């Protein structure tokens, strides 16, 4: 995924760049809002993060110019500012100036996922299909990721790598139909992988969009709806945590 960082605060720029690069983003850093606008149109980042004060343009003007261009209207914008929310317009997310960099990255992930969900709801001819999604489980939990894939009715393969231990989940129109992990499959594999990811809180994920035909030969080991499955797994996780 691509992130464009627009800030002229040197102390903030490097920390932001490092935080996003650690989460596997391709990062472009710009101090000029005007030049950033040309980059956005040419490179189409997945998210834009800007500081409250820019050297050549007010951040609100920068945001309104983005939204005025139909081709850029679906790029989420995260503002880092100490200004009160009512003074910062309709930014997709506003974070305090003293926010931790990990929280900025987490917010960016959420905005990307939310915008992807919105584009899924638009007519197919009106949007450009998105490619695969990758990231770190320190920025978004596996449970949150599964909920989003279900809500967005995604079809594809989710691969989870927990530093040498890996699992695979298959989604068909948002329904989790198969899971495999450490020789187990079905609901047991979902529970074990979620428990392990929660305890380690580290690892990475890759979601590859597929057509139904791409994994038609795969077994169906889960019959519950994804919502029912995640609810029952959450109960089991609470019970195991209490013991």
pLDDT of residue 147: 85
For residue 108, how many C-alpha atoms fall within 13 Å in the half-sphere facing its CB?
A: 32
pLDDT at 184: 92
DSSP conformational letter for 24: T
Helix, strand, coil share (%) of the chain residues, nearest 5? 45, 25, 30
How much is the average pLDDT of 76-84?
Answer: 79
Core vs surface per residue 126-156: b (16+ CB within 10 A) or e: eeeeeeebebbbbbbebeebbebbbebebbb
Q: Is the pLDDT of residue 160 over 90?
A: yes
Question: Is pLDDT above 60 for 87?
Answer: no
Instruction: Tell me, yes or no, if the pTM score tops 0.75.
Output: no
Does pLDDT of 203 surpass 90? no
Report the relative pairing of strands 156-162 and 2-6 from DSSP bridges.
unpaired
pLDDT digit string, tens, across residues 88-128: 456 778 888 888 888 899 888 888 877 766 655 544 444 44
């Amino acid at each position: 995924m691509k992130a464009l960082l627009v800030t002229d605060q040197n102390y903030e720029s490097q920390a932001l760049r490092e935080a996003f690069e650690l989460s596997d983003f391709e990062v472009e850093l710009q101090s000029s809002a005007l030049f950033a606008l040309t980059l956005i149109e040419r490179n189409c980042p997945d998210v834009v993060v800007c500081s409250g004060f820019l050297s050549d343009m007010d951040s609100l003007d920068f945001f309104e110019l983005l939204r005025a261009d139909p081709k850029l209207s679906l790029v989420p914008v995260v503002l880092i500012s100490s200004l009160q929310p009512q003074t910062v317009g309709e930014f997709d997310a506003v974070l305090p100036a003293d926010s931790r960099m990990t929280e900025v990255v987490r917010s960016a992930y959420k905005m990307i996922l939310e915008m992807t969900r919105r584009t899924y709801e638009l007519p197919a001819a009106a949007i450009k299909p998105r490619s695969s999604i990758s990231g770190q489980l320190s920025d978004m939990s596996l449970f949150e990721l599964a909920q989003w894939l279900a809500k967005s009715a995604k079809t594809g393969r989710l691969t989870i790598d927990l530093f040498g231990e890996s699992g695979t989940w298959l989604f068909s129109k948002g329904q989790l139909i198969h899971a495999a992990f450490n020789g187990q499959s079905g609901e047991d594999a979902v529970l074990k992988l979620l428990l392990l990811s929660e305890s380690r809180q580290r690892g990475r994920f890759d979601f590859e969009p597929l057509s139904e035909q791409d994994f038609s030969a795969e077994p169906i080991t889960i019959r519950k709806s994804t919502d029912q499955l995640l609810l029952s797994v959450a109960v089991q996780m609470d019970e195991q945590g209490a013991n």
